Structure 1
Amino acid sequence: MSLTGALNSASSGLRTTQTLSSVAADNVANALTPGYTRRTASVISTASGADGVTIADIRRDVDASLQRMSRLETGKMARYQALDEGLSRYTSYLGQPGDGTSPADKFSAFQNSFTTLVNMPSSHGAQAGVALAAEDLAQVVRGAATSLGTTLSEVDMEMRYEVADLNKALYQLQDLNAKQLSTVPGSASSADVSEQIDGLLDQISGIVDTRISFSSSGTVSVYTIGGAALIEGQSVQDVTFNAGDGTLMAGQQDITPFKDGVRGLQHGSLVGLSELKGTIIPQFNSQLDEYARGLIQTFEAADASLAPGDAGLFTDNGMPFDPANLQGLASRLQVNEKVSMSGDAEVWRLRDGMSATAQGPAAETTQIAAFIDGFATTMGASASTGIPSTVTLQDFAAEMVTNQATERVRAENSYFAARTSAEMANGTRANAEGVNIDDEMQRLLLIEQSYAANSRVLTTVSNMIDTLIAAV
């Protein structure tokens, strides 16, 4: 090898070790940075093969299969987390049978108050006890309806936030796609852009499940699992949410989960929130409304004193039941003001009937017995409640509370299972793509040795040249 060739070889070696040390140092510095992927530099011979080496590219050590698995499991976890958190807030108010505060327990106290009254029909205290128990029952039903309405409002708000975050991430991807086109493939700047793109894709996977496609230039296109485009190169399809009917659109494409005839989303927080809004909360509302209907109709049917159009013990804001106005009935459930302790407080009507013109015999129990018989009335609940139509009024509240608590437990168990799977997938991915500081330090030692060897070559060649010049 000529002296010139030796100088070129040593110089290229020094330049290469400089880049290698920079890459290794970046790896060490970002070892604890979430989402950072280890980088390696590929070393190749120069074109002539005799003049040294150079850096071919700087590559991120990405495992594509682990990325897909990690994002899928993260999407599943986000879906069930949204379900669990939404249901937990509501069911914590609803309570459960045996805690003294649930509709089932309030109904049990209401039923027991009638048992006391039938044995003491002339007692003003027993009559007042029924009125108070009825007000407690109506209040807890209204409270459950209000809490469920609050939960629905929170779900709508969360969906708006998630859609906003999704659109923000899509437009950031649009910018990164443009930036990637201006970088040199295989360069450090290209690796930096790819790092940011992967971070956004990880974020998006927690909101919606996706299919991802990379072009030869490193730009990314993102589609929903059903095939609807979210971003293709520089074209972004804005995602919109209609709070009225729960529809989610990507541009002009309907991506609403669980919608007939729509290849909608399957995983991600938007799916869990959509399930709450479109399926679970409407069913819970239906159960509450049906229970309110059962209370109103049962006591209307059992009250012999009522004329057509008269309201019974339980009312729809003071009015009798109207089949055309069932929706939201639970939030309007009231005790007839004639017997309400905050109204006329004519509690003797619980013995004689809501529309009795005057007090009857003090020991009369016929009307009280008719009310008690009504507890065993079959509800004939709507199929939308998910509760058998054969369930009686006295059992409906317990069935309702148990049904709703079971839904929450199911969501909680699904979330715990999905979280475990996501943690395992993310941990495996981090181990495969993350930085091992021991390996990087060993690599730095080798780079140091290479640097020293190249420096020694330069020193030796310099001395040889000085010797030759001195001999001339």
Structure 2
Amino acid sequence: MSISGAMNNALSGLRAVSRSAEIVSSNISNANTIGYGRREMELSSASVGGNGAGVSIDGVSRNVNQVAINDRRLADGALALDNQRVGFNERLGNVLGKTDDLNSLNGSLTQLETSLIEAASKPDSDARLSAVVSAAENVVDELSRVSDEIQNIRMDADQSISKTVATLNDNLQQVEKLNTAIQQQLTSGKDGTALMDQRQVIIDKISEVIPLKEYPRDGGKVALISSGGAVLLEGKAAEFGFTPVGVIDAQMSLAGGTLNGLTMNGLDVTVNSSRSIVGGGELAGMFEVRDELAITAQSQVDAIARDLVDRFQDPAVDPTLGATDAGLFTDNGLAFDPLNEVGLSGRLKLNAAVDPSQGGDTWRIRSGINAATPNEAGDASLINAMADALTGKRVAASGAFSPASRSASELTGEFMSLVAADLIAAEADATFSRSQVNTMTQLEFTESVDTDKELQDLLRVEQAYAANARVIQTLSELLDTLMRSL
């Protein structure tokens, strides 16, 4: 081999080890960076005219465990779904309060029961009759507050869906653009690994919204397929559509056409289904909150309101009532119609006949809603009948309750217990999903960058650098010797 050939070999070796040192340093410094894929330099033997000409740097490859990443992404989506359920039950539980809290729904019913008992012991006391009216009004306010909060939860979910869909479309577009940029980088012989890292981080965000798997394509591109089989990205990104509404009330629903659903490339997509092509993630959780969990909760609160209305709308309790007359509690001032139960808790009103602020008289608590004149001041029979109606055992006429007889406060207590049990179950599911995410993430990092191995590679790079530098030094000394001999 000629001196110039040996010199070229050594210089190409120096370039290779210099690039290797950069790659190893990058691997070590980014060992804990989210989305970073371990780099390896690809080398091959170079030749000129059939003779060895050192080494050639063919490129830099990015190595990740795609199976582990796909599994972790599915776990991310499941955790996001569970967190939506936890958030709903926490928020509902907070508005309901605790069963022993006087400011809770159950507490307001306890106060009403207490006020009726006290009024029965002294029916001629205007103060005690006023206390009954005040306690009844508090029950109405609590039911309305719970109903309003449920609809607020639905509105928040509707707005969150809109924002999430917009972000989802932006992220899919970014991945499409990064696919193109990566292909251009690789085609021109440049390093596209940094763009691949960026793309992985964006895909991770998408997978929380819609669980997916990533599949390699030619030119460094990738395709994204949801766990339900929807093609989110295959060359061109899918486009999702959703239109939020301004205000949601108890009567509005997706099935009734008053709320909007999700579209994909202009076609309607079913979200709340075990077979949904975009189910299993945060987006599905938001739709579940808006269209299932909140609606179920509303139906249970309405069932409690109906049970309360029925207890006092019975002529057997208040003989002054006719078959179609409203009792102590009304549906927005009217008698309750069983065919119009949806949203009753938000429309519940205290009968104006007993409310002085609406022109009524408190003595009707003692004498009867439709009494023409006050009865004897010491007659507590109606008040006792109302107290018995409130505490009497009866089966709820509607709602997802067990077929057992309960008092009004026991029915409310069961509802609060159901919400608490749902929260515990949702938290347990979220804990399991979080454990899966942590396990998958640990596996992903374990098989990504091994810092011990990288340090060993760095030692080999140092040795190679020293060897090539020694060759160049030897050749330089040889040339100096030759020049001195001339």
Same fold (TM over 0.5): yes
Q: Tell me whether 416-425 or 49-58 shows the greater mean CA deviation.
A: 49-58
The CA deviation at 1:76 is 1.3
1:106 alignment partner in structure 2 = 108
AA aligned opposite 2:227: I
Cα contact 2:150–2:294 (8 A) shared by 1: yes
1:381 corresponds to 2:397: yes
Cα contact 1:82–1:272 (8 A) shared by 2: yes
1:398 corresponds to 2:413: yes
AA aligned opposite 1:321: F
The CA deviation at 1:124 is 2.3
Q: Tell me whether 136-145 or 29-38 shows the greater mean CA deviation.
A: 29-38
AA aligned opposite 2:25: A
CA distance in 1, matches of 2:272, 2:159: 20
Cα contact 2:76–2:211 (8 A) shared by 1: no
Equivalent residue in structure 1 for 2:83, among 78, 81, 84? 81
1:215 alignment partner in structure 2 = 217
1:364 corresponds to 2:379: yes
1:307 corresponds to 2:308: no
Residue aligned with 1:52, SS: strand
The CA deviation at 1:311 is 2.4
Residue aligned with 2:425, SS: helix
Q: Flag the 1:82–1:246 CA change in 2: closer, same or farther, 3 A.
A: farther
The CA deviation at 1:152 is 1.3
Q: Tell me whether 224-233 or 352-361 shows the greater mean CA deviation.
A: 224-233
Q: Tell me whether 400-409 or 23-32 shows the greater mean CA deviation.
A: 23-32
Q: CA deviation digits over 1:163-214, x for unaligned, max 9?
A: 1111110000110111122122696622122112211111111111113221
1:125 alignment partner in structure 2 = 127
The CA deviation at 1:460 is 1.7
The CA deviation at 1:41 is 1.4
AA aligned opposite 1:276: V
Alignment of 1:405-416 (within 5 A): 405-416=420-431
Residue aligned with 1:310, SS: coil
CA distance in 1, matches of 2:98, 2:397: 21
2:250 alignment partner in structure 1 = none
2:2 alignment partner in structure 1 = 2
1:196 alignment partner in structure 2 = 198
The CA deviation at 1:32 is 4.6
The CA deviation at 1:145 is 0.9
The CA deviation at 1:294 is 1.8
Q: Tell me whether 206-215 or 42-51 shows the greater mean CA deviation.
A: 42-51
Q: Flag the 1:144–1:378 CA change in 2: closer, same or farther, 3 A.
A: same
Q: Flag the 1:420–1:315 CA change in 2: closer, same or farther, 3 A.
A: same
Q: Which runs of 5+ in 2 are unaligned?
A: 245-257
Alignment of 1:416-455 (within 5 A): 416-434=431-449, 436=451, 439-455=453-469
Percent identical: 28
CA distance in 2, matches of 1:187, 1:201: 25
AA aligned opposite 1:33: T
CA distance in 1, matches of 2:51, 2:307: 90
Q: Tell me whether 412-421 or 138-147 shows the greater mean CA deviation.
A: 412-421
Alignment of 1:177-196 (within 5 A): 177-184=179-186, 189-196=191-198
AA aligned opposite 2:350: V
Cα contact 2:303–2:396 (8 A) shared by 1: no
The CA deviation at 1:386 is 1.9
1:144 corresponds to 2:157: no
CA distance in 1, matches of 2:372, 2:462: 105
1:72 alignment partner in structure 2 = 74
Q: Tell me whether 9-18 or 183-192 shows the greater mean CA deviation.
A: 183-192
CA distance in 2, matches of 1:249, 1:211: 21
Equivalent residue in structure 2 for 1:343, among 347, 358, 364? 358
Q: CA deviation digits over 1:107-166, x for unaligned, max 9?
A: 122123222333333332332222121111111111111111111111112111211111
1:296 alignment partner in structure 2 = 309
1:325 alignment partner in structure 2 = 340
Q: Flag the 1:307–1:424 CA change in 2: closer, same or farther, 3 A.
A: same
1:225 corresponds to 2:227: yes
Residue aligned with 1:146, SS: helix
AA aligned opposite 1:430: F
1:283 corresponds to 2:296: yes
Q: CA deviation digits over 1:247-271, x for unaligned, max 9?
A: 22222454433338x5343422112
Report the number of matched residues.
467
CA distance in 1, matches of 2:405, 2:40: 67
2:11 alignment partner in structure 1 = 11
CA distance in 2, matches of 1:31, 1:220: 24
Q: Flag the 1:377–1:187 CA change in 2: closer, same or farther, 3 A.
A: farther
Residue aligned with 2:186, SS: coil
Cα contact 2:211–2:278 (8 A) shared by 1: yes
Q: Tell me whether 302-311 or 144-153 shows the greater mean CA deviation.
A: 302-311
1:160 alignment partner in structure 2 = 162
Q: Tell me whether 282-291 or 405-414 shows the greater mean CA deviation.
A: 405-414
The CA deviation at 1:319 is 1.9
CA distance in 1, matches of 2:221, 2:60: 17
Residue aligned with 2:330, SS: strand
Q: Tell me whether 409-418 or 373-382 shows the greater mean CA deviation.
A: 373-382
Q: Which runs of 5+ in 1 are unaligned?
A: none
1:30 alignment partner in structure 2 = 30
Cα contact 2:92–2:419 (8 A) shared by 1: no
Residue aligned with 1:342, SS: helix
Q: CA deviation digits over 1:320-354, x for unaligned, max 9?
A: 21334322211121211222253335111112111
Q: Flag the 1:55–1:104 CA change in 2: closer, same or farther, 3 A.
A: same
Q: Tell me whether 68-77 or 343-352 shows the greater mean CA deviation.
A: 343-352
AA aligned opposite 2:42: S
Q: CA deviation digits over 1:47-83, x for unaligned, max 9?
A: 5573222233312230112111211111111111122
Cα contact 2:34–2:201 (8 A) shared by 1: no
The CA deviation at 1:4 is 3.6
AA aligned opposite 1:133: A
Q: Flag the 1:282–1:362 CA change in 2: closer, same or farther, 3 A.
A: same
1:241 corresponds to 2:242: yes
Residue aligned with 1:356, SS: coil
CA distance in 2, matches of 1:352, 1:237: 68
Cα contact 1:38–1:435 (8 A) shared by 2: no
CA distance in 2, matches of 1:341, 1:69: 65
Cα contact 1:378–1:389 (8 A) shared by 2: no
1:464 alignment partner in structure 2 = 478
Q: Flag the 1:134–1:253 CA change in 2: closer, same or farther, 3 A.
A: same
Cα contact 1:254–1:264 (8 A) shared by 2: no
1:259 corresponds to 2:273: yes
